[in-house]
């Protein structure tokens, strides 16, 4: 069994090799090693160790994706099995219906889609299309991301594609440290359900909304395609890789950063700020009122 010191050193090695801002690595390593030398982690175990190291990482470098995570089920440490958590993420998507929790037609011909995760474009295209097909005839749409905890940049781009008329909208870019290159994300040219380009869209957010969910909210808001209703989101804009450093501990390392084509920046550390600020549990009511007013005006 690995000691806490060995787990921490393995995590710092992964951070040093992959973190998207290499100029910040030295300060992160110094702070965590200083705390370790002072015995701050010696008596901690499991989730408590992960929480303590994460707090110290983020005190030096306030990146919400930079953290240690405890997993109950033992994981393989063999390099052949390591894929940045991709296989586990895809299994999670399948188990959770690719993030689509519910689709409803509400009074006043208003569609509602609630998402818990943002699926991948390849694996989840059919489910995204099925959800959008069910609301295709609505007069306005509410996209509920209040409990959406993240997902795939490609999937976020596919969701966003439905709300624009064609494939000519440059949504955002993602810079990757590992390749020192920038990938552009545009609206998709072909979608498995009708587009929704010309009717009101309201995106619900909360302080829980994170990562891929924030990507959808921020992008639609920045491009003037949706009204964001609710609370400021958590503020995690950096795509990450997950690496096992022990049988039960993962380190998540941001390896890339998002760049919105309208704002030139992203939501890291600040969150997506709503256009209509209300408590999360009041966001649906506020959005429905705004939608009904827009439909009847």
Which domains can be identified in the chain, with CATH numbers? Answer: 4-81 (no CATH), 96-236+271-296 (3.90.226.10)
Residue percentage of the chain with pLDDT more than 90: 89
pTM, full prediction: 0.88
Beta strands in 41-86 (DSSP E): 67-70
Q: Is the pLDDT of residue 133 over 80?
A: yes
Sign of torsion, CA 69 73 76 80? negative
**Given this model, what pLDDT does residue 252 score?**
93
**Given this model, what pLDDT does residue 241 score?**
87
* 22-65 pLDDT tens trace: 999 999 999 999 999 999 999 998 999 999 999 999 999 999 99
For 96, the 3-state DSSP assignment is coil
Give the residue among 152, 5, 2 at the shortest CA–CA distance from 74: 2
* 67-124 pLDDT tens trace: 999 998 888 777 645 565 677 788 888 999 999 999 999 999 999 999 999 999 999 9
The per-residue pLDDT of the chain, averaged, comes to 94
Q: Length of the chain, please?
A: 297
Element spanning 143, H or E: strand 140-144
Give the residue among 202, 48, 216, 33 at the shortest CA–CA distance from 121: 216
**Given this model, what pLDDT does residue 297 score?**
80
Cα 101 to Cα 14, 129, 178, 195, 270: the distances in Å are 34, 14, 34, 21, 27
């Amino acid at each position: 069994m690995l000691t806490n010191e060995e787990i921490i050193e393995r995590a710092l090695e992964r951070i040093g090799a992959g973190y998207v801002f290499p100029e910040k690595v030295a300060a992160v390593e110094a702070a965590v090693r200083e705390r370790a030398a002072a015995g701050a982690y010696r008596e901690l175990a499991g989730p408590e160790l992960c929480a303590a190291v994460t707090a110290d990482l983020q005190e030096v470098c306030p990146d919400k994706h930079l953290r240690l995570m405890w997993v109950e089920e033992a994981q393989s440490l063999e390099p052949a099995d390591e894929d940045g958590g991709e296989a586990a993420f895809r299994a999670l998507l399948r188990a959770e219906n690719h993030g689509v929790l519910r689709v409803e037609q509400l009074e006043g011909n208003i569609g509602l889609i609630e998402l818990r995760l943002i699926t991948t474009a390849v694996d989840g295209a059919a489910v995204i299309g099925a959800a959008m097909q069910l609301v295709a005839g609505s007069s306005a749409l509410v996209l509920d991301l209040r409990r959406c905890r993240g997902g795939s940049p490609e999937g976020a781009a596919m969701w966003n594609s439905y709300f624009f008329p064609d494939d000519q909208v440059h949504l955002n870019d993602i810079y990757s440290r590992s390749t020192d290159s920038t990938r552009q994300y545009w609206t998709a040219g072909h979608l498995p359900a009708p587009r929704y380009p010309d009717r009101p869209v309201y995106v619900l957010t909360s302080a829980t909304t994170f990562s891929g969910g924030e990507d959808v909210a921020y992008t639609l808001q920045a491009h003037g395609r949706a009204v964001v209703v609710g609370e400021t989101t958590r503020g995690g804009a950096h795509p990450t890789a997950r690496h096992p450093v022990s049988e039960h501990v993962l380190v998540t390392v941001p390896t890339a950063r998002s760049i919105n084509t309208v704002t030139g920046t992203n939501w890291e550390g600040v969150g997506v700020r709503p256009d209509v600020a209300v408590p999360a549990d009041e966001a649906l009511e506020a959005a429905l009122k705004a939608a009904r007013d827009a439909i009847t005006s």
